[in-house]
Amino acid sequence: MKLPEIVGVAGTNASGKDTLGALRESLHGAQFVSLSDILRRELDKRGLPHERENLRSVSREWREEEGPGAMSLRSIAAYENEKSEKKYTGLTLTSIRTPGEAEAIQRAGGLIIWVDADPKIRYQRILSRNLGRPEDQKSFEQFIDEEEAEMHPSEKGGGLDMAGVRDVADIKIINEFDSLEAYEAFLKKEFEL
């Protein structure tokens, strides 16, 4: 299957979302934007630590001010303004955590891919990649608790609704491949990358 120009990649933490974005970028010149990175840059501007609660708070604030697809719409508008100058061939947005963000991508002609894997596998990926991000320094129990809070809308989860994103996704992938290379080979074949 050939992917459209705009693709949103959602899923659980350490499931392989960014791998798909990076692959599209390196093989085809598609711009790769993590909505979480947009939030981290905003936290830096505000002098706040990169903790999950702060990320959720800024996300909630923008949704309240600009609507449910605020970050996706900001990113799509920036892409449209830059694509010819920077010769982008597409846009991949990752870390979609609300149905409003997913639906904004779909309304723009894109599709949503949901990526998941067993929680124990994903937790081990976080430990092994050791990115040094404060939000990754947690026990397995904390990892599960935070994920549960983000799966269903609640004040504790900052209004995030990852289960709602999963439900509106156009494609679902289980990434329990034995290696990064096997996952990348699957993506290349599945999406004609």
Runs of H (alpha helix) within 49-118: 52-66, 70-86, 99-107
> Does residue 116 fall inside a structural domain?
yes
DSSP three-state, residue 24: helix
Q: In this prediction, what percent of the chain has a pLDDT beyond 70?
A: 95
Q: In this prediction, what percent of the chain has a pLDDT beyond 90?
A: 77
> Does residue 41 fall inside a structural domain?
yes
pLDDT at 106 (0 to 100): 98
> Does residue 193 fall inside a structural domain?
no
> Does residue 75 fall inside a structural domain?
yes
Is the pLDDT at 96 greater than 60? The verdict is yes
pLDDT at 155 (0 to 100): 63
Instruction: Report how many domains make up the chain.
Output: 1
Q: Which residue has the tokens 């505000």?
A: 46
> Does residue 55 fall inside a structural domain?
yes
Q: Which residue has the tokens 């156009």?
A: 170
pLDDT at 158 (0 to 100): 59
Q: Which CATH number does the domain housing residue 125 bear?
A: 3.40.50.300
What range does the domain containing 19 cover? 6-187
Tell me the pTM: 0.89
Span 114-161, pLDDT tens digits: 999 999 999 999 888 876 766 667 899 999 998 998 898 876 555 789
> Does residue 192 fall inside a structural domain?
no
Compute the average pLDDT of residues 30-57. 91
> Does residue 122 fall inside a structural domain?
yes
What is the maximum alpha-carbon separation in the chain?
A: 46
Compute the average pLDDT of residues 2-29. 95
Joined together, the tokens standing for residue 29 give: 């010149």
Dihedral sign for Cα 61, 150, 163, 193, please: positive
pLDDT at 159 (0 to 100): 73
pLDDT at 156 (0 to 100): 59
pLDDT at 136 (0 to 100): 67
Compute the average pLDDT of residues 32-57. 91
Compute the average pLDDT of residues 46-68. 91
> Does residue 163 fall inside a structural domain?
yes
Compute the average pLDDT of residues 86-112. 95
pLDDT band for position 166 (cuts 50, 70, 90): very high
Amino acid letter, residue 62: W
